[in-house]
Amino acid sequence: MILTKAQYDEIAQCLVSVPPTRQSLRKLKQTFPSQSQATLLSIFSQEYQKHIKRTHAKHHTSEAIETYYQRYLNGVGRNGSAPVLLELANEIATEVDYAPSLMARIILERFLQDHEETPPSKSVINSMLRDPSQIPDGVLANQVYQCIVNDCCYGPLVDCIKHAIGHEHEVLLRDLLLEKNLSFLDEDQLRAKGYDKTPDFILQVPVAVEGHIIHWIESKASFGDECSHHAYLHDQFWSYWNRFGPGLVIYWYGFIQELDCNRERGILLKACFPTDIVTLCHSIA
Amino acid sequence: MAAVLESLLREEVSVAAAVRWIARSAQSSEDDPGEAAALRSLRPLRKEFVPFLLNFLREQSSRVLPQGPPTPAKAPGSSAALPGRPGGPSRGGRGARSQLFPPAEPSSAAAAEAPPARRGGRRRGPGPGRERGGRGPGGLEEGVGGESPPWAAGRRRRSSGSPGSPGRARSDPPNLSNLEEFPPVGSLPPGPAGTKPSRRINPTPVSEERSLSKPKTCFTSPPISCVPSSQPSVPDTSPWGHGLPPGCRSLQEEREMLRKERSKHLQQSPTPACPTSESGSPLPSRTGNLTAEAADPARVSSRQRLELIALIYSSCIAENLVPNLFLELFFILQLLTARRMVAAKDSDLEPTPGAPDSLESPLFQSVHDCVFFAVQVLEHQFDKGTLKLLAENERLLCFSPALQGRLKAAYEGSVAKVSLAMPPSAQAVSFQPETDNRANFSSDRAFHTFKKQRDVFFEVLREWEDRHEEPGWDFEKGLGSRIRAMMGQLSAACSHSHFVRLFQKQLLQMCQSPGGTGGTVLGEAPDVLNMLGADKLGRLRRLQERLVAPQSSGGPCPPPTFPGCQGFFRDFILSASSFQFNQHLMDSLSLKIRELNSLALPQPEPSDEDGESDVDWQGERRQFAVVLLSLRLLAKFLGFVAFLPYRGPEPPPTRELQDSILALRSQVPPALDVRALLQQGLRARRAVLTVPWLVEFLSLADHIVPLLDYYRSIFVVLLHLHRSLVLSKESEGEMCFLNKLLLLAVLGWLFQIPTVPEDLFFLEEGQLDAFEVDTVPSEHGLDGMPVVDQHLLYTCCPYIGELRKLLASWVSGSSGRSGGFVRKITPTTTTTGLGAQPPHTTQGLQAQLAQAFFHNQPPSLRRTVEFVAERIGSNCVKHIKATLVADLVHQAESLLREQLVMQGQDGGDPAQLLEILCSQLCPHGAQALTRGREFCQKKSPGAVRALLPEETPAAVLSSAENIAVGLATEKACAWLSANITALIRREVKAAVSRTLRAQGPEPAARGERRGCSRACEHHAPLPSHLISEIKDVLSLAVGPRDPEEGISLDHLEQLLGQLGQTLQCRQFLCPPAEQHLAKCSVDLASLLVADQIPVLGPPAPRGLERGQARRLLHLLLSLWKDGFQVPVPLQLLLSPRNVGLLADTRPREWDLLLFLLRELVEKGLMGRPEIEACLGSLRDAQWPKDFSEELATLFNLFLAEPPMPEPQLRACELVQTNRGTVLAQS
């Protein structure tokens, strides 16, 4: 699913101030029936993350935290089984509009500050978010759990889904490489050898795709938008180029067409496994 | 000096004698006594003769070649007044052009400061008396004196003008030596100033690339049309007077003598030859006339005189008495291709009747004269590099049909075409685990820092590549701070060496390509179609420019530059301005230079079939070319960095300052002992490899360097070498023609470098003769082999191409044919015997025998054996690593596991553990040698056999195999015996830490994992999809939800079915996903137990029926039992939160929980004690009172259950039917 910048912008336009709930996703699918669900979800997720990054700081001032905590306490004081925390996070009218899982984290941290002697460590918080049963307050545990299962952009479950998607596509890619009889070193093998930067696969014998030499392949189970692509270029793709030469990136959920502009310099983008692979002929007949 | 010429012209002295006289200090027995006498009187002038002659010819030609590209000259006289007179140019007009000829300074000033202190007085005349005489009073003298200073000032501009101001230098618009800008096609209207004789020496054309070198260096003379018309025209009474610098006492004296002579002639001759008059008179207009004047042999004036001078001139060239062969060739070709004569009056065109043989009259009076002279020289001096164009020059046919015939023959005979196929260089330095992984760094931090450095370096490089051609972009401004920040992070010395290695490798990869410019960098595909497809207009434009304007190398004698990518590396060094970096870089460059310089390059082998040897030679020549080009590049950068701290725009202003600098500098040891390397190179007859890179190194030296004793001695050696490379000599043991030509070209170029003193070339013989190269004549080094081909010559010396361009422009200008193309020339192949090999490291009789064995075998045999031994030896080490060491590591792991079992999970101190393991395992390392020997024994013979020709005699083959086995074993065992213990230790250490880490959280996740069955086609739903689906169910159950929302029972069952499939297939399942699936399934079970799942169905979403819930729980139980391979957090079923879900339901449904608990026990998923513990801890939580009571009841009920499965189930049914009552009863 390769979109032009204009097409992408049209979709992104519809995602402004939409809470990350399953209901929102359902509506989005109805609005853009021609796009694949996975692509839409990926775009939505990335756009929402951008929004969160922009507003992250304002939710973490001590005043904001205090306000949220008081509102939470008031809310559960009135009715502990009402979705207090979730609604607090998704409140757009009062300009809260923050990811439920992240809001849950804020409140949990604040709560633990009140109830524990030492400030909670990050790993304790993470562990409680993964398994809210560990939260000493039953009401809060339920509230947190509700936030996490209702958040489709953040939280341990979403992280796990993303990780799983990434892994699945790597497996898929590995199978395709095996099927094509292309020998490769995978990330684990590379790491064992002490490589400092490791693409998903390094081809032991380079191939050509659409006339471009490919030494390595990176699988990205997401949509390649400008923001993420530039981050990837800086942190990964150029680093791979710097070590292994030109390579191929597969954005399984598509990318913005205009981003595929570094082909000449050694970074080729595709939205699927390439079909026309030219391999080195060993025998000179 | 002129007297010598005069006596030649009067045939008092033969040319041969004169040349002998010039070339050698000692008198030869061949010399006629009369000649000897005539010359002996002139002896003190001997070393001045060649510069005089060259200047004389330039001077003369300037009258004829006003419009043509100027021929540079660098004669010592010009430097006479160099130091001590700064600020000269500032007196000139503001305009760039007028600065070329700043107003004259009074001659007295020149004289007063003239004694050229710079070179330690070598330029001084024989005595003060002569100086006096030189400056004697007289009207004519004034004229001369008045004439010289402007020239001198113009010359001086080279050393002091616009120092270090590239910005201003850039504003000099015309690149005077650029033939594209100043084509010799057609004559520009010269203007009145055109009559002014051209200055021989002039400001260097400046381009941005040359900001390093002094922008003002004067290599060329300007077209006469550039001279501003306001230039005062000083009457010139001496046709060669311009060549005489004010500081040159002996020449001045000479001049006076001549002047007297001339006045005699003037009195005799009714028609005065008046070169003086031409300067003032406006020229006949030649505008619009673009065609060249037809040269006619019949119209040559004073043939005899021209012939004589041509002969002596070409003899000087042939004897390498001129500093730069190619400059002279360029000059000759300029004469040959002269289009128009900027002659003054018609009368000038006629030979001066009175003095046909005197130097009085202009030498070149017409185009005919020029062409005649050029052809005369060419007849003697054969330029093989430009044969075709020469052959196509119809003037040649006209003046010397015989020469043209020879040229044609030579051209047609040249068929060899050796191209320099380089490996593609458009890559970054690859990551090599052996040198780049963590083990090569002192700390994790250093490793990760370097990881970042590498990326920053390439980021900077990419940005440079994108932007350096943009106008207004500045390297320092754009990248400087980033580079310095990056260098700042390279704290550890080890990181510096890593970075330097990266830097040097990348330098070699990018800049080694032919032409040294590296036109395509960083993956920029050279494919034209790709370029067009990239819809980059800029790129297309650049391509077009490249096609339209062939790169000019900046005249026949460009200063050293850093073209293309080299500029990046230079600027990087400058911007980094890091002492540590520079030092590491110098160390690394020096090492690499030594390594490459001593590389045993292939020797030719006498072969019966020419074809075969040809194939071999292609590869070997290519290897030579790669090594040579790499060396040149490395040496250039070494020179750049080594002399960087001393480099300044101009030489020290005063003698005192210079002396004190010299005293300081002479103590500093050289960065690399190049003198020793040069001497070694000459001794081993590898000058063809050593000298070109040495020249690159020296070309970047600062002004002081050539004055230092150490470097001065190097220059003396180089001068001697230059003199000895007589092209015409081709005898046994001589250097090959193209090898010589390469050395002549690079040396000639070096002698023209601004920082090299001009007079260095014309050293007194005493110094030259003192030197003798100590070569072993029997040894055949690289010099005697045709390692240089035309392509390499042009790659190393792109300026030679200027000759071709000159001719090409003539061809296109005169006949409209496409420009000439120089073909490759057949290199002279010498058949030489097997060269003496460098002594091998192996010692002893066996080694000697092996040497002897190779002696009578073709060199390829030796190469093959050495290659096989090297590779097998290396593979042997790897083999031992993969077998013996790997086995030991396995043993270590199992020992460690035993240890851990014995000592509990902690296992104790890892360091101690390691020691124990190593002490047990390292002794096994002794096997390595035996096994290594076996491996080499087994593998080497086959490899040798595969690589040697089939007709190799059996005995030779088996000897070769045995030697290969021996060498490989030696290599491998040497390494193994030294390193095996350390290797085992390292690997065991890694294994220990691996095992200890694996001991951590999830042992079940690894270990024996079942894969899917072989028949599986991996069509199961993806784990990510399942997690996502289950998450949706959970979120629906937990709410909030719309009233109409719910889940269909079918969907739930389907979901669990899919989960089962996925857990079976496992193709796409990774441990974290499985863990989350397990946890989600537990959450789902809890929601089922608490009846919290809203099921769709008419009429409205409702709770599940108990039977349905049980069925689903059964599905989950079997998944937990058989599906999951990760531990399922079943205890969460009894977590306060999940049990608490029940608290909200009215009426509470305890029976499903009880059912679940019993099933868990029954299926062995949880033990009773475990459940009891969970239930026990549940009681500690805070609950509503009634809930606590019910919980206690459940607890008791569960505890009361007899551990018999069947009745329990029934009891459960009972519980179900009488819900609530059962609990109440108990």
Output the pLDDT for position B913.
76
Is A238 part of the contact surface with chain B (CB cutoff 8 Å)? Answer: yes
Ramachandran sector of residue A159 (left: φ over 0; alpha: ψ -120 to 50; beta: rest): alpha
Q: What are phi and psi of B168, to 5 degrees?
A: -70, -40
pLDDT band at A155 (very low <50, low <70, confident <90, very high): very high
* Residue A208 bridge partners (DSSP): A213, A278
- Tell me the average pLDDT across B817-845: 35
Q: How far is B530 from chain A (nearest CA, A)?
A: 8
Nearest chain B alpha carbon to A80: B1144
Per residue in B466-481, pLDDT tens?
A: 888 888 888 988 899 9
Per residue in B355-364, pLDDT tens?
A: 444 555 666 6
Nearest chain A alpha carbon to B1129: A131
**Is the pLDDT confidence value at B239 over 50?**
no
Q: How many CB atoms lie within 10 A of CB B980?
A: 24
Report CB contact under 8 Å: A242, B1129.
no
**Is the pLDDT confidence value at B116 over 50?**
no
**Is the pLDDT confidence value at A142 over 60?**
yes
Tokens of B690: 């050593």
Q: Which of B632-641, B979-988, B1159-1168 has the highest mean pLDDT?
A: B632-641
**Cβ(B1095)–Cβ(B1046) below 8 Å:** yes
- Per CB-CB distance under 8 Å, the chain B contacts of A206 are none
* Residue A220 bridge partners (DSSP): A251
Nearest chain B alpha carbon to A238: B455
* Residue A186 bridge partners (DSSP): A201
Angstrom distance (rounded) from CA B179 to CA B100: 19
Output the pLDDT for position B544.
43
Output the pLDDT for position B839.
39
Closest CA to A147 of B1217, B860, B1034: B1034
Is B1039 part of the contact surface with chain A (CB cutoff 8 Å)? Answer: yes
Tokens of A11: 């979709």
Contacts of A145 (CB under 8 A, 6+ apart): A132, B1038, B1137
pTM: 0.65
pLDDT band at B405 (very low <50, low <70, confident <90, very high): low
Output the pLDDT for position B1003.
40
SS3 at position A202? strand
Contacting A residues, span 14-53, partner chain B, CB-CB under 8 Å: 22-23
- DSSP 8-state assignment for residue A207: E
Is B1012 part of the contact surface with chain A (CB cutoff 8 Å)? Answer: no
Nearest chain A alpha carbon to B428: A242
Angstrom distance (rounded) from CA B978 to CA B252: 74
pLDDT band at B884 (very low <50, low <70, confident <90, very high): confident
Per residue in B157-168, pLDDT tens?
A: 333 333 333 433
Output the pLDDT for position B330.
73
Nearest chain A alpha carbon to B994: A192
**Is the pLDDT confidence value at B148 over 60?**
no
**Cβ(B164)–Cβ(B44) below 8 Å:** no
Nearest chain B alpha carbon to A38: B1025
User: To which residue do tokens 């029926």 refer?
Assistant: B1105
Burial B489-514 (b: 16+ CB within 10 A, else e): bbebebbbbbbbbbbbbbbbbbbbbb
Angstrom distance (rounded) from CA B359 to CA B198: 18
Report CB contact under 8 Å: B1132, A131.
yes
Contacts of B1171 (CB under 8 A, 6+ apart): B1134, B1157, B1160, B1161, B1198
Contacting A residues, span 62-101, partner chain B, CB-CB under 8 Å: 81, 83, 86-87
Angstrom distance (rounded) from CA B589 to CA B639: 10
Ramachandran sector of residue B992 (left: φ over 0; alpha: ψ -120 to 50; beta: rest): alpha
Q: Which residue has better confidence, B721 or A94?
A: B721
Mutate to test the interface with A, among B889, B1031, B1069, B1130 (most CBs of A within 10 A): B1031
Residue B1103 sits at the vertex; the CA angle it makes with B1098 and B1107, to the nearest 5 degrees, is 100
Output the pLDDT for position A199.
94
Hey, what amino acid is at B1159?
E
DSSP labels, B861-914: HHHHHHHHHHHHHHHHHHHHIIIIIHHHHHHHHHHHHHHHHHH-SS-S-HHHHH
Output the pLDDT for position A154.
93
Is A121 part of the contact surface with chain B (CB cutoff 8 Å)? Answer: no
Q: How far is A237 from chain B (nearest CA, A)?
A: 10
Per residue in B330-355, pLDDT tens?
A: 777 777 776 555 544 444 444 444 44
Q: How far is A61 from chain B (nearest CA, A)?
A: 29
**Is the pLDDT confidence value at B858 over 70?**
yes
- Per CB-CB distance under 8 Å, the chain A contacts of B1038 are 142, 145-146, 149-150
Residue B351 sits at the vertex; the CA angle it makes with B348 and B353, to the nearest 5 degrees, is 115
Angstrom distance (rounded) from CA B396 to CA B737: 24
Closest CA to B622 of B857, B795, B858, B835: B795
Contacts of B950 (CB under 8 A, 6+ apart): none
Nearest CB partner across the interface for B1067, out of A171, A211, A238 = A171
Angstrom distance (rounded) from CA B928 to CA B907: 30
Report CB contact under 8 Å: A132, B462.
no
Is B898 part of the contact surface with chain A (CB cutoff 8 Å)? Answer: no
Residue A163 sits at the vertex; the CA angle it makes with A27 and B1054, to the nearest 5 degrees, is 60
Report CB contact under 8 Å: A264, B523.
yes
Output the pLDDT for position B151.
36
**Is the pLDDT confidence value at B461 over 70?**
yes
Angstrom distance (rounded) from CA B837 to CA B926: 36
**Cβ(B478)–Cβ(B463) below 8 Å:** yes
Closest CA to B1171 of B1157, B1159, B1181, B1182: B1157
Q: Which residue has better confidence, B1114 or B652?
A: B1114
Per residue in B1032-1067, pLDDT tens?
A: 999 988 878 887 888 888 889 999 999 998 888 888
Per residue in B7-43, pLDDT tens?
A: 666 666 676 677 666 666 444 455 556 666 666 665 5
Nearest CB partner across the interface for B1031, out of A131, A138, A157 = A157
Tell me the three-class secondary structure of B291-311, residue by residue: CCCCCCHHHCCCHHHHHHHHH
Which contacts qualify for B348-351: CB closer than 8 Å, 24 or more apart? B348/B275, B348/B278, B349/B301, B350/B301, B351/B301, B351/B302
Angstrom distance (rounded) from CA B1065 to CA B1022: 10
Hey, what amino acid is at B758?
E
Is B540 part of the contact surface with chain A (CB cutoff 8 Å)? Answer: no
Output the pLDDT for position B921.
80
Contacts of A173 (CB under 8 A, 6+ apart): A200, A201, A217, A219, A250, A273
Is A199 part of the contact surface with chain B (CB cutoff 8 Å)? Answer: no
Q: Where is average pLDDT lowest: A54-58, B68-72, B1100-1104?
A: B68-72
pLDDT band at B294 (very low <50, low <70, confident <90, very high): low
Nearest chain B alpha carbon to A268: B523
Residue A277 sits at the vertex; the CA angle it makes with A271 and A283, to the nearest 5 degrees, is 165
Q: How many CB atoms lie within 10 A of CB B883?
A: 14
User: To which residue do tokens 């030697």 refer?
Assistant: B963
Closest CA to B1061 of B1026, B1090, B1092, B1036: B1026
- Per CB-CB distance under 8 Å, the chain A contacts of B1137 are 132-133, 135, 138, 141-142, 145
pLDDT band at B999 (very low <50, low <70, confident <90, very high): low
What is the pairing mode between strands A2-3 and A255-256? parallel
Output the pLDDT for position B511.
79
B820-to-B149, B363, B514, B808 alpha-carbon distances in Å: 42, 30, 21, 5
pLDDT band at B115 (very low <50, low <70, confident <90, very high): very low
Per residue in B1147-1156, pLDDT tens?
A: 677 888 888 8
The helix (H) or strand (E) run that includes residue A25 is helix A22-31
Report CB contact under 8 Å: A141, B1137.
yes
Average pLDDT of chain B, as a whole number: 66
ipTM above threshold 0.85: yes
Q: How far is B1038 from chain A (nearest CA, A)?
A: 6
For A190, what's the count of Cα atoms within 13 Å in the CB-facing half-sphere?
Answer: 20
**Cβ(B836)–Cβ(B932) below 8 Å:** no
Contacts of A249 (CB under 8 A, 6+ apart): A217, A218, A220, A224, A232, A237, A267, A268, A269, A270
Angstrom distance (rounded) from CA B129 to CA B518: 58
Q: What is the largest CA-CA distance in chain A?
A: 84
Output the pLDDT for position B254.
52
Is A146 part of the contact surface with chain B (CB cutoff 8 Å)? Answer: yes
Output the pLDDT for position B651.
72
- Per CB-CB distance under 8 Å, the chain B contacts of A129 are none
**Is the pLDDT confidence value at A257 over 90?**
yes
Report CB contact under 8 Å: B525, A264.
yes
- Per CB-CB distance under 8 Å, the chain B contacts of A131 are 1079, 1129, 1132
Q: What are phi and psi of B710, to 5 degrees?
A: -60, -50
